[in-house]
Amino acid sequence: MANNDLSRPHVFIQGTSSRTILALHGTGADEHNILGLAGALDATASVLSPRGMHLESGMSRFFERYADGTFNEQSIDIAVNDLAEFIGAASAEYAIDVSNIFATGFSNGANTASALMIRRPQMLVGAALFGSTIPFAEVEPVDLSGKKIWLANGDHDSYAPVDVSERWVDQLRDFGADVTWLRHPGGHQIVAEHVRIIADELRA
């Protein structure tokens, strides 16, 4: 099955505003999993939610990770390229405003959104990243001027340690992005308060 055209399993929900939220699920979920999150962030936006096409022990992900938990960066780049082509096909099919696509995701999906932002910055106006970490060992500088990014992580999330989140926030700001780092005292999860804060700021 192709990863880069409309045969890829996905959901599209037509909204009433020009914004489209690209919703990228976490490991073991599917294209239906974070539709509620996307709607909570902006009930007026259209939603485009594709399935991650890499399987790990039968669970859907967007890219491969090794047994020790590190990321296969070649797999990330393949995933980003396929996703970019899919977004192009979906934009033509659903008349999506390509100048106003905002990404959100949890865990593997959030990392994929970050990678898309780094590799194809022209495709996204911003992102709300939940339970995520730096997708690449070395991140090449990229111009993220005008991009609004929220990083929402738990202080006890072993998947996204605080020191790594701090380094990621600093890098994104160095690239010109407007970054808000939201922290909660829990672990690898999405908390309602962070969703509310981001939704309020998106409406502003």
137: tokens are: 């060992």
2: tokens are: 């192709």
- Quick one: pLDDT at residue 130? 98
C-alpha 136/C-alpha 125 separation (Å) is 21
Band (12; pLDDT cuts 50, 70, 90): very high
- Phi, psi at 82, each rounded to 5°: -65, -40
- Quick one: pLDDT at residue 4? 85
C-alpha 93/C-alpha 8 separation (Å) is 13
At 42-72, the pLDDT tens digits run: 999 999 999 999 999 999 999 999 989 899 9
C-alpha 160/C-alpha 107 separation (Å) is 9
Kindly report the pTM of this predicted structure: 0.97
In this structure, how many other beta carbons lie within 10 angstroms of the beta carbon of residue 5? 14
Sorted by where each begins, the domain ranges of the chain are 10-203
- The CATH H-level superfamily of 10-203 is Alpha/Beta hydrolase fold, catalytic domain (3.40.50.1820)
Band (2; pLDDT cuts 50, 70, 90): low
Catalytic residues: 107, 157, 188
DSSP three-state, residue 10: strand
Beta strands in 63-176 (DSSP E): 101-106, 126-130, 148-154
Is residue 90's pLDDT more than 80? yes
